[in-house]
């Protein structure tokens, strides 16, 4: 299912002429921490429930325009674009506009996360690895090629950390021997930032460390 099919068009709108008391009443009927605000039917932004606490309940919202945050997503964006907007604005409600900036409805954070959870990266069985390498030496195509040469199935990968010098990616694969994959990546100068019980390299290091400690204790 595409996320556009889940746009909620039933949310009760707030008008900038509403009193703070009226705005709070609308919040009580929803589970959102933001609600969209309109002026004569035109979308103006969203108001956060936490910003209403100390305001005069009889004053109109228009007296507090500086509290209205302008954020939204356009209907042609992807699931990941939406998640980025949710995170940036710490909201569980995202206004959706068309290409002409006309208001369509809102997306709920829970619906977008549910869709993301249905993606192969999350839903498929497999092992998740975190690989780290120098940024100038990193290549997505190399990662995919190494996985394919081992007859493993790649469910997805994304950049989970990025700095000037280092890139870290999270990869999910389906393969019977994760140890074989880990050793292959090490041979190509990738560091393994995740822990895996099947990782014989880690087990070997532990055995050597234990042996060294015993030797030093003699």
The string of pLDDT tens digits covering residues 45-63 is 999 999 999 999 999 999 9
CATH number of the structural domain spanning residue 204: 3.30.70.260
Q: Which of 65, 82, 116 is the last residue of a domain?
A: 116
Average pLDDT for 57-71: 96
Same domain, 77 and 22: yes
Q: How many domains does the chain have?
A: 2
Q: Which of 116, 136, 160 is the last residue of a domain?
A: 116
Average pLDDT, the chain: 88
DSSP H helices, the chain, are 20-28, 79-89, 109-117, 120-123, 140-149, 178-187, 200-217
At 86-131, the pLDDT tens digits run 999 999 999 999 999 999 999 999 999 888 878 777 777 888 999 9
Q: Is the pLDDT of residue 214 over 90?
A: no
**pLDDT score of 43:** 96
At 26-45, the pLDDT tens digits run 999 999 999 999 999 999 99
**pLDDT score of 100:** 92
Q: How far apart are CA 134 and CA 218, in angstroms?
A: 41
Same domain, 86 and 169: no
CATH number of the structural domain spanning residue 107: 3.10.580.10
Same domain, 95 and 174: no
Looking at per-residue pLDDT, the higher value among 119 and 9 belongs to 9
Local confidence band at 209 (pLDDT 50, 70, 90 cut-offs): very low
- Other C-beta atoms closer than 10 Å to the C-beta of 190 total 21
Enclosing domain of residue 43? 3-116
Same domain, 15 and 96: yes
Same domain, 180 and 153: yes
Closest CA to 179 of 156, 158, 195, 155: 195
Write the CB contacts of 105 (distance below 8 Å, at least 6 apart in sequence).
Answer: 7, 8, 9, 10, 11, 95, 96
Please give the model's pTM, rounded to 2 decimal places.
Answer: 0.70
The angle at the Cα of 1, spanning 147 to 88, to the nearest 5 degrees, equals 75
Q: Which of 116, 150, 183 is the last residue of a domain?
A: 116
Same domain, 112 and 153: no
**pLDDT score of 211:** 45
DSSP 156-195: EEEEEEE-SSEEEEEEEEE-S-HHHHHHHHHHTT-EE-S-
Same domain, 146 and 101: no
Tokens of 120: 């192969």
* Percentage of residues in the chain having pLDDT higher than 90: 69
How many Cα neighbours within 13 Å face the side chain of 145?
6
Average pLDDT for 123-143: 91
Q: How far apart are CA 23 and CA 34, in angstroms?
A: 11
Same domain, 10 and 111: yes
Tokens of 10: 């039933």
Same domain, 108 and 126: no
Tokens of 191: 């560091």
């Amino acid at each position: 299912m595409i996320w556009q099919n889940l746009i909620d068009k039933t949310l009760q709108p707030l008008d900038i002429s509403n009193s703070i008391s009226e705005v709070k009443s609308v919040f009580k009927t929803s589970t959102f921490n933001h609600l969209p605000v309109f002026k004569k039917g035109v979308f103006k932004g969203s108001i956060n429930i936490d910003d209403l606490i100390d305001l005069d309940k009889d004053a109109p919202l228009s007296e507090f325009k500086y509290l209205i945050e302008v954020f939204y997503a356009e209907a042609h964006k992807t699931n990941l674009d939406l998640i980025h907007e949710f995170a940036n604005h710490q909201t569980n409600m995202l206004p959706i506009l068309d290409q002409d900036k006309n208001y369509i409805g809102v997306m709920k954070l829970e619906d977008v996360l549910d869709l993301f959870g249905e993606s192969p990266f999350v839903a498929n069985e497999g092992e998740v690895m975190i690989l780290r390498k120098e940024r100038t030496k990193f290549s997505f195509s190399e990662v995919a090629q190494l996985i394919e040469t081992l007859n493993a199935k790649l469910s997805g990968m994304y950049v989970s950390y990025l700095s000037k010098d280092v890139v870290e990616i999270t990869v999910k694969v389906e393969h019977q021997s994760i140890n074989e994959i880990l050793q292959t990546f090490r041979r190509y100068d990738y560091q393994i930032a995740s822990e895996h019980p099947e990782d014989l390299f880690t087990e070997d290091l532990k055995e050597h460390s234990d042996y060294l400690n015993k030797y030093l204790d003699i």
